[in-house]
Structure 1
């Protein structure tokens, strides 16, 4: 079977992250504006193409001051690097609905290989549109310093304000293109 194109339904999708905060909890956030081109062969998901783009300025951590700091040169530097991208270049089946999706992640002008642990949640006919919808969820962990996101502050009690390891996660619902 040939690849079929799916468009992300952003109303039913999310790209988020979490990072250790003050060495004792996790700060979480998500991006409000993103898109992806997903081309899959339903009979062979290993034959897939995924290209995602995130508008980094759409970051939302439920705190405007923190969001503004994350947009600044201390972190994402959205003035010079407004987009983050992920382009898959290898999909390997691990089990029934579980895949390793490896590709190039670009943040703040730095590109590094990253592997997402992805679950194909299945597909169903959307009763509202009559179209076929597919669901995918996944996550990975990166070291933010590898992408030039190095700002931090020492804590009086020892340790640092922001952890180095960032978990990126997503829940994607996509509609088959007509």
Structure 2
């Protein structure tokens, strides 16, 4: 069984959420680590783990990012990490997978599923094989105790409930 380590310099963990019911705010996390223990070309039977430094959230707005780090949202002083541990991986034909697992945000753990696509294996310029994946999921922020919101004068709320998570990942074999 091969161990693969996420190459953060060639990967991206991003998210989007409705803002004011009419647009989306997008952001990403700057620091994270992750592993796959198993065959990258056939994830069935593999074990996948991720740990994200929640304080590295970046939405291109310092005030908003500081608010997101605070007690109203991630409370990163008390809950510095967002984690994911796979519990089951189901092949959905070809190179597509449903990666089921436990995600923990702000001390709350919920089962979620990432719809994933294996993008292939290639050699980088230094002759090292790398593996690429894309994955998406959607979570309810309220289910993870991220409940802060503000009512809008015209109706609706400032921040939507559904968070779309997108992972674009490159993995290198562990050395």
Provide TM-score, normalisation by structure 1. Answer: 0.96
How many residues are treated as equivalent by the alignment? 175
Structure 2: tracts of 5 or more residues without a match: none
Runs of 4+ residues deviating >4 angstroms:
none
The residue that corresponds to 2:103 in the other structure is 105
1:78-157, aligned counterparts within 5 Å?
Answer: 78-127=76-125, 129-157=126-154
Q: Is residue 54–residue 82 contact of structure 2 (8 Å, CA) maintained in 1?
A: yes
Distance 2:88 2:141 in 1: 23
The residue that corresponds to 1:173 in the other structure is 170
Q: What is the DSSP-based 3-state SS (H/G/I as helix, E as strand, rest coil) of the residue aligned with 1:146? A: helix
Structure 1: tracts of 5 or more residues without a match: none
* Residue 162 (structure 1) aligned to one of 159, 162, 168: 159
Q: What is the DSSP-based 3-state SS (H/G/I as helix, E as strand, rest coil) of the residue aligned with 1:46? A: coil
Q: Is residue 37–residue 47 contact of structure 2 (8 Å, CA) maintained in 1?
A: yes
Q: What is the DSSP-based 3-state SS (H/G/I as helix, E as strand, rest coil) of the residue aligned with 2:142? A: helix
* Residue 25 (structure 2) aligned to one of 27, 44, 58: 27
1:39-54, aligned counterparts within 5 Å?
Answer: 39-42=37-40, 44-54=42-52
Distance 1:177 1:140 in 2: 26
The residue that corresponds to 2:64 in the other structure is 66
User: How big is the shift at 1:135?
Assistant: 0.2
- RMSD, matched Cα: 0.9
User: How big is the shift at 1:7?
Assistant: 1.2
User: How big is the shift at 1:44?
Assistant: 3.3
Q: What is the DSSP-based 3-state SS (H/G/I as helix, E as strand, rest coil) of the residue aligned with 2:21? A: coil
Q: Is residue 41–residue 120 contact of structure 2 (8 Å, CA) maintained in 1?
A: no
